[in-house]
Structure formats: C-alpha cells, structure tokens
Amino acid sequence: MSKTRIFTTRKLEKITKEFISENEEFNNEYLGDWTSTLFYVSHKKCWLLINKMTKYLLILPNIKKTDLKNISSIFKENLFAQLTFDGIETRYELVEKIIGEIKLQETNNDRSTNGSLNNCLLFLEDRKYEFGDYENMNFRDLNGRLNSSPNKMLNWKYPKEKMNEMINNYEKKSFLEKNRIVL
C-alpha cells in the first residue's frame, strides 16, 4: 500500500502533535510529498495543502481534532472532489491507490513550498473580506482559482495542468504494467 507524507508547518504541528508520525524514510513514488498549513475562517480551522511537485493546492475546510483519525479518507475525498471540480478526469479508486495512507510529519522547513503556501494564504485572506462568513465561502471555487494561476516554478503552467499530467501518466503506467506491455 502506498503512503503519502504531509509535512506540517509549525502552526499546524502544534494542534496535530499526537497524530504526527515518526519521521520514516519513504516517498510516495508518484506524487511525492505535500505540505500543509493552518488558517482560520470564522474561527473554524481549515488546512491549505500544496503538492511539492505539481504545486497543486487543496483546501480542507473545518478540520477538527476528532477528524484527524480519519485524515486519510478526508484527504482523498476532498482531493477527488477538487480534481473533478478542476476538470481533471479520474476515478476515486485511482486517487485512493496513488495517495494510500496519509502520514503527518513534522515540518521540513522547505522554504520554497512554505513561500508558495504563504502567497496563497494572502489570496485567501482577501477572499475572507469578499465573502465574509464561513458559510458564504465556496472553497471548491477558491481552490480552483488557486490551481488556475500560472506558476513560475512550473514554467508558467497551471498547477491543475501539471496534476492532470501526473495522474494521466500514472494511469498509463499502471495500464502498461497491468497488461505487461513494454515500450
């Protein structure tokens, strides 16, 4: 079974302490690692995650401490819903296979990834004033806007384009392996 590491920022690490795994040496062979930070909307804790390789962003709204024991399924369900919203065609079973089990990790102090998260937090902060309360926030749409912004680190591609490429390549690789086709 596949495993995916989510590195937490110091702010998020404080509230997820008992769910932080030992720093195991493994790597999600296909999508790599994610980094997550905490932000608040109407006093509700929300997570903003970024995939290190694709710069694809994911918002997990209103995550409570009791949700952390089910973080793997919450993450996969939200990722699948966001991929669908962003027009990336895939199956939930494929997302489940690629992501596998989520392992929260202490911060890795990746300055580049943390900088990207901080830029996105500024965008979300502006939207709080535009939409007001938590109930008025359309997180899928906001998330879609973030994933539709060109990124210099991706040679000005959109994060959703890069994620689409990665998922399509994984699906092709899996198909070829399943059918034992060698190119």
Amino acid at 103: K
Gyration radius of the chain's alpha carbons: 16
Other beta carbons within 10 angstroms of residue 171's beta carbon come to: 16
The model's confidence at residue 14, banded by pLDDT at 50, 70 and 90, is very high
43 pLDDT exceeds 60?
A: yes
* Helix %, strand %, coil % of the chain (to 5): 50, 20, 30
SS3 35: strand
Per residue in 89-141, pLDDT (tens digit) is 999 999 999 999 999 999 998 999 999 999 999 999 998 888 888 999 999 99
Q: How many CA atoms lie within 13 A of 121 on its CB side?
A: 16
pTM: 0.92
- pLDDT of amino acid 23: 75
pLDDT of residue 25: 74
